[in-house]
Structure 1
Amino acid sequence: MNVFFDNCTSPVLATTLHGFIQHDGHSAFHIRDLSSLPNGRHSKDVEWIDYLRKSNDDWMFVSGDGRVLKNPAERAALRSAGLHGFILASAYQKTPLHQVASVLVWRWPEMLQIAKLLAPPSMHEVSINKGTKLRPLPL
């Protein structure tokens, strides 16, 4: 499984998660790391969604921007792309980066299990509280 982090997340999160999951054959990439994107780091949401859709690899994505679910074009692109998405709750914006990274590592098994059990597309909100379950979001 590959994990894509968009521009609304720090590259540190992708690097940290990658270090934790690579021993199991998974990878994490920040948008800045994918030079094959049409406009690189400046690719619009519909562009990176289409890029992941066309890939032969299994992808999930992590975003810090829940507005991706409010824009009709992006929402349609997400549904047709068949991706598992994880939106970081708004509390992440006020949380120190090292704590955000630790929560993502903590949540990784749950995120991976959702990707294995549910048919894509699916969308979940990731709470900052480690004891709270991932909350399904309408797609």
Structure 2
Amino acid sequence: MKVMVDECISPYLARALRELFAVDHQVANIRDHFGPGVKDLTWIKSLSDDGEWIVLSADRRITRNKAEMQAFKSSGLIGFFLSKSVYQKPMHRQFMRVLAVWESLEKQATLVRPGAMFEITERGDRFRQL
């Protein structure tokens, strides 16, 4: 599984996930991959062309901006977006939440079609489809 962590989530969280799951997964940070400030439409297209990425994001604007939403839905990507309440937590709480749902995230990613988008909520191991 290849996971790209976007700029709205701490690069430290991305590095921790990369080290923790290095044997089984490729985890990267958008800043390391594209440089800081890359436009959403640019990385969505690039990752879609590269194939089979899962995006871990806190940038809910992607789900509200018509052009970005359309690009994501027609891409080969699967998105998991932190809910506002999870994103507002300290980084270590965000990390704990991502770890708590990691297995469910892996499973969900195998069951859905590319372009699917989900919200990681504060509780439970199910995702809300966006």
Q: TM-score, normalised by structure 1?
A: 0.86
AA aligned opposite 1:114: Q
Q: Secondary structure at the match of 2:102?
A: helix
Whether 2:78 is the aligned partner of 1:78: answer: no
- Give the Cα separation in 1 of the matches to 2:77 and 2:68: 12
CA deviation after TM superposition for structure 1 residue 132, in Å: 4.8
CA deviation after TM superposition for structure 1 residue 92, in Å: 2.1
**Matching of residues 105-120 of structure 1 within 5 Å:** 105-120=99-114
AA aligned opposite 2:48: R
- Give the Cα separation in 2 of the matches to 1:60 and 1:103: 17
| Counterpart in the other structure of 2:46 | 51
CA deviation after TM superposition for structure 1 residue 106, in Å: 1.6
AA aligned opposite 2:37: H
- Give the Cα separation in 2 of the matches to 1:31 and 1:83: 14
CA deviation after TM superposition for structure 1 residue 125, in Å: 0.2
| Counterpart in the other structure of 1:11 | 11
| Counterpart in the other structure of 2:26 | 27
AA aligned opposite 2:38: S
Q: Secondary structure at the match of 1:77?
A: helix
1:30-75, Cα deviation, whole Å (9 max, x unpaired) = 11111xx3xx2221000010110111x4201011121101111101
| Counterpart in the other structure of 1:128 | 122
- Give the Cα separation in 2 of the matches to 1:89 and 1:77: 21
Stretches of structure 1 lacking an aligned partner (at least 5 in a row)? none
Q: Secondary structure at the match of 1:4?
A: strand
- Give the Cα separation in 1 of the matches to 2:69 and 2:59: 13
Cα-Cα RMSD = 1.3
Q: TM-score, normalised by structure 2?
A: 0.92
AA aligned opposite 2:94: V
